[in-house]
A and B are shown apart, each in its own frame.
Chain A
Amino acid sequence: MNAKGSVFKYGDNVDTDVIIPARYLNSSDPAELAAHCMEDIDKDFIGKVHKGDIIVARKNFGCGSSREHAPIAIKAAGVSCVIAETFARIFYRNAINIGLPIIECAEASRGIEAGDEVEVDFDSGVITDLTKGTKYKGQPFPEFMQRIISEGGLINYINSQS
């Protein structure tokens, strides 16, 4: 499994309130949530993002509320992977559970810049910055996690097991 796309770059402590502001949480429809994704930190994001694009951020990405609407909005916006130095723990769990690939890699988080073309190989954990010609080693995704992602989330994965 691979992800490949153009990078949107953010800093430390990107919280779930800027990923999807609570004023839109009266909906749980993925497409509706995606329409407001990152609105309070980057109002151009939703106009510019293409299917497959990648978010790269620094430390503690997804801090704050437990709203699963945050990874749902990012995934529905077309983002194929989020790379960060660290993730807030509830966001980490939620992202895996809904099938949004995320990967922790401090070096990639520092080295990759906005607009770079990046490819992520989930089997090996290798992150390649195609623009700069640099490679980084993140944690490979264990097989069960790849299956959760390919099944589209934990619930489908559990159902497929039974």
Chain B
Amino acid sequence: MGMTMTQKILAAAAGLPSVEAGQLIEARLDLVLGNDITSPVAIREMEKMKVSGVFDKDKIALVPDHFVPNKDIKSAEHCKCVREFALRNEITNYFEVGEMGIEHALLPEKGLTVAGDVIIGADSHTCTYGALGAFSTGVGSTDMAAGMATGKAWFKVPGAIRFHLVGKPGKWISGKDVILHIIGMIGVDGALYRSMEFVGEGIRYLSMDDRFTIANMAIEAGGKNGIFPVDVAAKAYMEEHSARKYRIFEADEDAVYDEEYTIDLSTLRPTVAFPHLPENTHTIDEIKDPIAIDQVVIGSCTNGRLGDLRIAAKVLAGRHVAKGIRCIVIPATQAIYLQAMEEGLLKTFIQAGAIVSTPTCGPCLGGYMGVLAAGERCVSTTNRNFVGRMGHVTSEIYLASPAVAAASAVTGRISCPCGLE
């Protein structure tokens, strides 16, 4: 029986000729990741283990990004715990404030994730690196601790759902619209325990930033991972960012898929997920009554990359954020921040009345830098719109693309950028 792309990577990492869905395997890890929220718990667990140190100081990435620069004393203590652990264990890839970024934008940019890798991260959006043809999945702190100590993790080999992406997306259609459309179609548990394998000629129209966005939100459909084939664009990205050798795995012709869907990208419309689940999707055309908003957030591991900022700047250029609306723009890494500055994007944002923040996950999870008050509404390019996610339990989050978020900041209600033209 043939294997999917995910299954082939896992078989190789387990040292097995083949694996099948449901099989329990132990795989070697190429990278173990943690942040300032999950790492302190993992460090505490690892210290309970009878081990002398980490399995490989080059294969662990520690990225304080959720509550940094430290938002309060307790967060500062967590960051200190991570910093001291990194120093004590001589962790090569510890990224301090000033060099850090939002983990899932930072690691590919630093060349730490390449095709064929098996990566676990104590952060649910670790599935992002599937855009490069890697197997990567989110785990908890205990799994992170065991991974840091042993360099191995056990997995149940996932079955798969295959998504054939065909056609060319229209103007203003981005990776965010593709993945929101898919989650709306299959639901927040539609891919539970399974891999989401994206294939088809339509992929060539998706930038690497679009693909990172799509793979990033596989978890919002319950998926174990999301993965793309390695094409010219993916190779170019890895060769530009990494000195590491990548390995390309291709699905067998006779691989088995539990379900298959075809998505014609040319028919997609800007898509918005209404509160309080990412599956509550509506196309922009289906929104008949105006939805007034209070805040816009453009950033996060989902949509804080350069391509996202360029689109937002294109919409905001020569326009102004509506009176009374807060628009918060967060470049995901220092390199993106710098490039956005050199391209004049930051100037565009500031002139439009938006604010620009240092890289942080802050507002996405209601941490800081844009927490919502009771009853407030936010259009956000982030990934979750659960109850209370960004602040008060009665606040509301509408998930959308950078284009829709920027257009909404200008009008003060959920809007299509096409309406501003």
Contact = CB atoms under 8 A, between A and B. Distances in A.
A89 B222 CA distance: 7
Contacts of B122: 66, 68
B385 to A, nearest CB: 10
Contacts of B413: none
B37 A25 contact: yes
B144 to A, nearest CB: 9
Interface in A118-162: 153-156, 158-159, 162
Contacts of A22: 37, 365-367, 389
Interface string A30-49: 00000000001100000000
Interface residues of B, number: 48
Interface footprint category on A? 35 or more
A63 B386 CA distance: 10
B38 interface: yes
Interface stretch (B67-75, B232-240, B292-300): B67-75
A52 interface: no
A26 B66 CA distance: 10
Contact of A17 (B41, B71, B123, B389): B389
Contacts of A66: 38, 121-124, 126, 138-140
Contact of B189 (A13, A158, A159): A13
Interface in A74-92: 86, 88-90
B365 A68 contact: no
B365 A93 contact: no
B282 to A, nearest CB: 18
Contacts of A71: 140
Contact of A159 (B37, B49, B66, B384): B49
Name the prevailing secondary structure of the B interface residues. Answer: loop
Contacts of A98: 140, 142
B326 interface: no
A67 interface: yes
A159 B48 CA distance: 8
Contact of A90 (B124, B146, B367, B387): B124
A18 interface: yes
Given A15-B386, A26-B75, A158-B49, A40 B393 contact: yes
A86 B123 CA distance: 21
A69 interface: yes
A86 B140 contact: no
Contacts of A154: 142, 146
Interface string B122-147: 11101000000000001111110110
Given A26-B71, A60-B222, A68 B41 contact: yes
A60 B189 contact: yes
A63 to B, nearest CB: 6
Of listed A97, A154, A155, A162, residue having the most chain B CB within 10 A: A155
Given A26-B75, A89-B224, A155-B45, A63 B188 contact: yes
Interface in B345-395: 365-367, 371, 384, 386-389, 393
B399 to A, nearest CB: 13
A18 B277 CA distance: 12
Contacts of B45: 153, 155
B67 A26 contact: yes
B95 interface: no
B78 interface: yes
A4 interface: no
A89 B277 CA distance: 17
13 contacts: A15-B386, A21-B388, A23-B371, A40-B393, A59-B189, A63-B189, A65-B123, A66-B138, A66-B139, A88-B222, A89-B222, A97-B142, A155-B49
